[in-house]
Amino acid sequence: MKKILVTGVKGQLGHDVVQEAAKRNIEAVGVDIEEMDITNANQVRDVISNGNYDAVIHCAAWTAVDKAEEMVDACRKVNVDGTRNIAVVCKELDIPMMYFSTDYVFDGEGEIPWKEYDERHPLNVYGLTKYEGELEVEQLDKFFIIRIAWVFGINGNNFIKTMLRLGKERGSVSVVNDQIGSPTYTYDLAKLVMDMIVTDKYGVYHATNEGVCSWYEFACEIFKQAGMDVKVTPVDSSTFPAKAKRPSNSRMSKEQLDKNGFDRLPKWQDALGRYLKEIL
Ligand SMILES: NC(=O)c1ccc[n+]([C@@H]2O[C@H](COP(=O)([O-])OP(=O)(O)OC[C@H]3O[C@@H](n4cnc5c(N)ncnc54)[C@H](OP(=O)(O)O)[C@@H]3O)[C@@H](O)[C@H]2O)c1
């Protein structure tokens, strides 16, 4: 593996994947909408075909979950058509493609961790388009689908940055306590991504940081580790009616990581601590 293309380089994950590749002496070319609008099939074909890439790591996406409920076509264009445009060229060139998906492909019923090959049944438009993107990627022989959740990275906005801001501005926050999942630190994920892409252990994986929590518990830990005295009130999702329905159970099994000999990501509290050191 000498040269890879990374889409969504201006986002949280794409940024960290390019950084990690550089540490491993793999040439990573990062592109975003300016260099390669993934909804433009011709441009996608030109960029990928002319770059002599050994793999494509596809981090670009429409990630505005609530906005997707009203802008269904625009979201589908990026997450489904955009993903197909890349998949088609990767298939023709016979190079592997890595795609990032989400816990939102599941309906969140029950309390058992979702296994990688469980039936998918998304509850909202974003989840549906990410699921349809998975179907496009599954057309390839050489693909990785990595489902992640509650993503945070240096390069972009996320729950942690929002909590720190609200905590500072208001001194108190109300946070939902009935959605359980695991945060994913892009710095940790990027290492796994680079471990994986040099192998032929294709398939579907879950790769969040270890351990589970509710958003309320996540917020409490953020303020504790940041040394901020903020009152956090646990509330039900019904208190904050969002446009897009969220799954209540986002626990993710790591069976496929274990089976294929990949390291699980560190505990989420540890990831949070390292992240806060970077941004505070
Ligand atoms: N964030 C989460 O909590 C989360 C959870 C589960 C899974 N994921 C998945 O993980 C992956 C990485 O997420 P992330 O948080 O790093 O995303 P992000 O920060 O939102 O970055 C996505 C990047 O893709 C770009 N993009 C949007 N439309 C594009 C287009 N037509 N052509 C080219 N680039 C385009 C975005 O540009 P603009 O900013 O200008 O739109 C942005 O720079 C995505 O596949 C996402 O679906 C994310």
Give the integer Cα–Cα distance in Å for 252 and 243.
Answer: 24
Of ligand 1's atoms, which has the minimum distance to the CA of residue 104? 6
Question: According to the model, what pLDDT value does residue 240 have?
Answer: 83
As given in the structure block, the two tokens for residue 24 are: 């491993």
> Is the distance from CB of 111 to CB of 249 less than 8 angstroms?
yes
Mutate to test the pocket of ligand 1, among 63, 97, 146, 185 (most ligand atoms within 8 A of CB): 63
**Domains of the chain (ranges plus CATH)?**
3-158+182-211+251-265 (3.40.50.720)
> Is the distance from CB of 91 to CB of 49 less than 8 angstroms?
no
Q: Provide the residue type at 56 as one letter.
A: V
Question: According to the model, what pLDDT value does residue 241 have?
Answer: 85
Of ligand 1's atoms, which has the minimum distance to the CA of residue 151? 3
77 lines ligand 1 (CB under 6 A): no
65 lines ligand 1 (CB under 6 A): no
Residue nearest to atom 33 of ligand 1 (CA): 33
Residue nearest to atom 41 of ligand 1 (CA): 62
Question: According to the model, what pLDDT value does residue 232 have?
Answer: 98
Of ligand 1's atoms, which has the minimum distance to the CA of residue 40? 31
Question: According to the model, what pLDDT value does residue 130 have?
Answer: 98
As given in the structure block, the two tokens for residue 219 are: 């917020």
Residues 154, 217, 180, CA angle at the centre, nearest 5°? 90
Please list, in sequence order, all residues whose beta carbon lies within 8 angstroms of the beta carbon of residue 269, skipping any fewer than 6 positions away.
211, 221, 225
**For the chain (length 280 residues), average pLDDT per consecutive 10?**
96 98 97 98 98 98 98 98 98 98 97 98 98 98 98 96 98 97 98 98 98 98 98 94 95 98 98 97
Q: Tell whether the torsion through CA atoms of 21, 100, 95 and 259 is positive or negative.
A: positive
- Annotated catalytic, 126? yes
Question: According to the model, what pLDDT value does residue 78 have?
Answer: 98
Q: Measured between alpha carbons, how far apart are the two ends of the chain, in Å?
A: 36
Give the integer Cα–Cα distance in Å for 249 and 112.
Answer: 8
Query: In a 3-state reduction of DSSP, which class is residue 42?
Result: helix
Question: According to the model, what pLDDT value does residue 83 have?
Answer: 98
Q: Provide the residue type at 242 as one letter.
A: A
Given the residues 53, 104, 126, 275, select the one marked as catalytic.
126
Q: Provide the residue type at 236 as one letter.
A: D
> Longest Cα pair distance anywhere in the chain, in angstroms?
56
230 lines ligand 1 (CB under 6 A): no
Of ligand 1's atoms, which has the minimum distance to the CA of residue 64? 20
> Is the distance from CB of 31 to CB of 46 less than 8 angstroms?
no
Q: Rounding to the nearest 10 degrees, give the CA dihedral for residues 98, 104, 109, 114.
A: 20
Q: Rounding to the nearest 10 degrees, give the CA dihedral for residues 181, 187, 192, 193.
A: 100
